[in-house]
Structure 1
Amino acid sequence: MAYRIGNREQMMLLPQSIEDYVGSDDPVRAFDAFVEALDFSKCGIIINPKKVGDPGYNPKAMLKLSLYGYSYGFRSSRKLERAVYHNLSFIWLMGDLKPDHKTIAEFRRKNKKAITNVLRQCARLCIDLDLIEGNTLFVDGSKVRANAGINHMWTQKRCEKSLQRIDARIEAILSESEKVDRQEQELPSVVTMREELQDKKVLRFKVEKILKKLDEEGQKSVNTTDEECARVKGRQGTHAGYNVQSIVDEKHGLIVHTDVVSESNDSNQFAEQINQANDILEKNGSVACADAGYDNTDELKRIDGQDIKVIVPQQKHTSNKKDASFDKDKFRYDSGKNCYICPEGHVLSYRTVDTVRKSKTYQITDSSLCMSCQHFTVCTTSKRGRRISRLINEEDRERLRLQYEEPESQAIYKLRQQKVELPFGHIKRNLKVNAFLMRGRDGARAEMSLLGTCFNMARMITILGIPGLIEKLTS
């Protein structure tokens, strides 16, 4: 069987015009049309062609390069620099402009806030194109590594231990130095000890500065590489990272809003993220849905109070714990007498309130009733008798539970996974994003804005096709 053999000496004739480098249905043309359709003044970038001084690169061209590069896994400035030399679609997109990696990195660094607004404008364009309805919104969070190592994460305990070791070493160096004769001042060993002593003093100053920052700001930990990242736990272990929040619309699964927070869990994020999405939509949706990680009654009430149906399961709905015969829900609450009635008919009266946990405590009046009960050791093992905690807003929590268990709500919740998990899957698997490149929350937010826009562009191309999307963007 014959083989096809390549010939590097073969004469070829490229098109005379860069415009002919890519076809009319090439995806790069959709990205070009999208950026041209953006209102850069709303993004916060002023385009002034009459600006005096050395000519710079057009911000539109630089944004096109970043957005298109992120869509195909070219995230680092050096990879983007190589692409504008060797990749025809990048050459066409940039009109043969060839910014170096420093210029590309500087554009992203100086325009973090502006890049963050790109996804907002993308969502507004999708609303105008009737691709986002904003009636049902799905919320989800995912952990993404920061551009910092977990070894640079400092806690108060670590600072105190480090100071103890440094002080011990400084004391040892001073003690050893005293034993050295004055005539041996210039020996290499003495010089080395002096250098080490100075290094230890510098390190001690840095650790004391970190400890002071922890005390003043009330933080549990701080990372010396990226001070805004947090210690997060993911499927790949514990690392320094951010908690990425995403709001997805039901109609086509397009991203309405993304955010990056420094909290390791989602329990305090529901209301804030939904409100920001509603601000972009310029209206309130009818349904807001999330998983059990957002189970925080106070947060859910903030959205439920806006006449938005909240569909969020409680932790017990997703736990594998078997339903016990003497769980709290097996005890009847008497609102008139403000007490609980156990399955055996005994009364648990109100005792105290826990302002930290925002709960009330109920305990059986006569502990001997529990001790003599046939279910003792099953219901409780305490010699003081059975105790129950009831949240101050227990009525709201129960109402939200019943709301989640409605058949209509279950159908919406089942749809949640299809819609809200897809963007994270595309970003982490297809685009190979396992960590942010930029440091700080503003940098991470800017990157998430680009990544969210990349996903929306891929979905819009799938829904409308490249010619159809270009036509709508340019009309």
Structure 2
Amino acid sequence: MANFYREPDRRQRFLLPVDMADWVPDTDLVHLLLDAVGLMDLSAFEAHYRKRGCGAPPFAPRMMVGLLVYAYANGQRSSRKIERLCERDAGFRMIVGAEVPDHSVIARFRKRHRGDLEVLFVEILKLCHAAGLVRLGVVALDGTKVKANASLVANRTSKSLEAEVAAMLAAAEAIDAAEDEMFGEARGDELPADLREPSGRLSRLRSCHERLLRAADGQRAEQQEKIDARAAGEKASGRRKRGRKPKAAEGVVNEEAKANVTDPDSRIMKSRKGYLQGYNAQAMVTADQIILAPDVTNQANDVRQLAPMIARTLAMMEAVTGDEVALGVGLFDAGYWSDENAAAQTAECEYLIATTKDWKRRKAMRDAPPPRGRCPADMSARDRMERKLLTKRGRALYRLRGQTVEPVFGQMKETQGADRFMMRGEQETKGEWSLHCSAHNIKKLHSPKIRDRILDRAGALG
């Protein structure tokens, strides 16, 4: 294996320090990161490479993984900036040695291994667990809107997409006809450059148009189900139901629905600062601000993310511990409230879900005294949850939510640049979000007490 990969020589003698380890202080994250990467099982990354082939050997996956995590932990995500830092920054140079990867190599590695970045997240989470940082009992889930690598002005309606596709095809046909007249059977009759490749503009336009058509078909089908259910109920009861009659299936289709031609998977979402083109990034976090499970969705609302994130967190923790786990108490804001979610709590996780916005919740906690006595049997699910949140135990637990997941998003967006994705597409952004969460967790390991524990373990193995 050593003869196959282009391994960095970190003990090469230079004119300045005798040892590359002397380039950066002992307290720098790079020392912990290199030892941590050495402990990880990165066979999923190595499986992408063949041991035989033409050309120069690839860069060692461990080195590339360490480089990406170190770059994201320091708020550097541009492959060109990372390449420049590998030439001039001591910490980056210590990771790559004398072999500086090109920016295209860095970008291709990140894109090729977007699915394997979840494996990296689990490996770092295992180190956090071994260091005693993963303490369950209270966990919190929240979502944050992250800008896509696309602009709001790049959205198009179905009609405008049809017109733009027709115009491009007409232009291509006109060019073909002119070149056929000029060149005859000779070369020169190719399509324009933006119409040749599947990744070109025409392909993205068609992809957006097809997505809008699928969404319209889904709206029609959902409305038709409501109409059929109402008709079946009226037939069974023998009388008409009260209330407004459902609209016809065609009447619910939004003709002004838009899709983004730069990143068709992204959606228009509302954030505290206004509307943005982006994704909804999710994270399940412990009371010690360790991320247990990340995910990205293009659904703006959080309500459908609760059950999948609970299942994802349990799967992650089982992969880390090798055994079944109980999360304890889960804290969720009002975006996750629904009667179905409230009824879905299990023995592995008790739910505390806010039923109103935060400012209303804080006001209720200030004004209303803690309830006393048994819970009435005829209370609705919402009333039961509100009563639970107003108890002394509920108040104390729910206050922890603002100290767990929300600061994590703030740290990642401010110090790691996680307020905007560099990659496009839902699967690609999932991988990039996992990389951001991995960088966050490795930074949590970087405290004097925990760092010494990890380095001692690495020394014992090495």
**Pair in the same fold by TM > 0.5:** yes
Match of 2:453 in 1: 468
1:294 is aligned, of 336, 343, 349, to 336
2:293 is aligned, of 251, 257, 268, to 257
Amino acid in structure 2 at the alignment position of 1:59 = P
1:435-471 Cα distance to aligned partner (Å, 9 max, x none)? 1001112221222112112211222112625333322
Task: Select the structure of larger CA radius of gyration.
Answer: 1
1:442 is aligned, of 413, 416, 427, to 427
Unaligned runs of 5+ in 1: 1-11, 169-198, 324-333, 337-393
- Deviation, 1:123, is 1.6
Matches within 5 A, 1:112-261: 112-154=114-156, 158-160=157-159, 210-218=208-216, 220-250=257-287, 252-261=288-297
The alpha-carbon distance between structure 1 residues 208 and 418, as it changes in their structure 2 partners (threshold 3 A), is closer
The alpha-carbon distance between structure 1 residues 399 and 164, as it changes in their structure 2 partners (threshold 3 A), is same
Match of 1:426 in 2: 411
Do residues 268 (structure 1) and 335 (structure 2) align?
Answer: no
- Deviation, 1:147, is 0.6
Q: How many residues align?
A: 364
- Deviation, 1:20, is 3.0
1:300-353 Cα distance to aligned partner (Å, 9 max, x none)? 322x13452211110267449999xxxxxxxxxx999xxxxxxxxxxxxxxxxx
TM-score after normalising by structure 1: 0.68
Distance 1:446 1:291 in 2: 25
Amino acid in structure 1 at the alignment position of 2:352 = I
Match of 1:92 in 2: 94
TM-score after normalising by structure 2: 0.70
The alpha-carbon distance between structure 1 residues 287 and 83, as it changes in their structure 2 partners (threshold 3 A), is same
Unaligned runs of 5+ in 2: 1-13, 168-194, 219-256, 319-324, 365-375
Query: Does the residue aligned with 1:239 lie in a helix, a strand or coil?
Result: strand
Do residues 456 (structure 1) and 441 (structure 2) align?
Answer: yes
CA contact (8 A) 1:260 1:444 kept: yes
Match of 2:253 in 1: none
Overall identity of the aligned pairs, in % = 26
Distance 2:57 2:203 in 1: 45
- Deviation, 1:210, is 4.0
Query: Does the residue aligned with 1:263 lie in a helix, a strand or coil?
Result: coil
- Deviation, 1:51, is 4.0
Identify the structure with bigger relative contact order (alpha carbons < 8 Å, sequence gap 6+).
2
1:31-82 Cα distance to aligned partner (Å, 9 max, x none)? 11111111112x4542879444331101111111111011112210001100
Distance 2:97 2:67 in 1: 11
Match of 1:61 in 2: 63
1:146-168 Cα distance to aligned partner (Å, 9 max, x none)? 011112223xxx33367689999
Match of 2:242 in 1: none
1:200-249 Cα distance to aligned partner (Å, 9 max, x none)? xx999986774443122447542221121111111232121000101111
The alpha-carbon distance between structure 1 residues 276 and 107, as it changes in their structure 2 partners (threshold 3 A), is same
Query: Does the residue aligned with 1:74 lie in a helix, a strand or coil?
Result: coil
Do residues 308 (structure 1) and 349 (structure 2) align?
Answer: yes
Compute the RMSD of aligned alpha carbons: 3.5
Distance 2:96 2:161 in 1: 51
The alpha-carbon distance between structure 1 residues 204 and 463, as it changes in their structure 2 partners (threshold 3 A), is closer
